[in-house]
Chains A and B, each alone.
Chain A
Amino acid sequence: MSESAARPEWPLFEVFVRGRRGLNHVHVGSLHAADPAMALHNARNLYTRRNEGVSIWVVRSDDITASSPDEKDPFFAPSGDKVYRHPTFYPIPDDVPHM
């Protein structure tokens, strides 16, 4: 279709919503908008029609740097062999209180 060449591309934004005070913002999805202000408005209309949020972040998808999801990715390996970081690594007698 002839429109393809001329059509203005609205960039993709990722949307994060804080469900209520005291909670983190959580990723809920994405949307297209011409600019960040429009992305915020669209995010409100799209992701919080039923009081799902008290605060919204929008971030250009292009601006996100992500780790690789590959199964054999060594990125997360450093935490795999450090069992001593977990409290269960340390045996404590059952009769020691408040531990």
Chain B
Amino acid sequence: MSTTEIDRQWTTRLRRRAAGKLPPEKLLPDTQPTYVASWIYVFGVATLSSLIVVIATGCVLALRGPYWWHGSPYGHFVNSLHLWSVELFFFAMVVHLWGKFFMAAWRGGRSLTWMTGVVTFLASIGAGFTGYVAQTNFDSQWISTQAKDGINSGGVGAYFNPLDLGQMLMWHIVLLPIAAVVLTGLHVLLVRIKGVVPPFDESAEAAQ
């Protein structure tokens, strides 16, 4: 096999492109710019960490099916862990989002990083909602029967029925978690490729 033939391979091209965009020292950096020195930066990693705990506790709940936690003290405790990790996840994500807004973190070719973050936020809201309506208790009865009116009003209810437990559960444990994880992965990779947005250059602005 000739070198030219190897060079043309999709695999070779992809590897070279990936290595060029994201060399190991960028993917797993051991230094960071000194301006990355604020508590606000903690909320990005806190969001990611919460997502890991959300998925782990959700996997434990999934082991015994959707009704298990109602009749088992252990199951109820795992449900409590799942609930509070979700609350922490959203709290951290909202603070992270506001922080990035006030940094104008889309600057310097980072608009895709911002957009993947926003879509992850919206997908997570969907994941949270489907979780609430899949609880199989009074809350899920009330939330689903109330939410259906908003969803139906836009015609979405014809395809996304909050009163259908099976459909909501599938969205909650398969489709939306996959979306959230893939989007989060993409978001983190973009942060690693582009780096953390630098502060505004006030002297340059004053000069202009």
Please indicate whether A and B come from the same complex rather than being unrelated chains: no
Name A residues whose Cβ lies closer than 8 Å to a Cβ of B: none
Name B residues whose Cβ lies closer than 8 Å to a Cβ of A: none
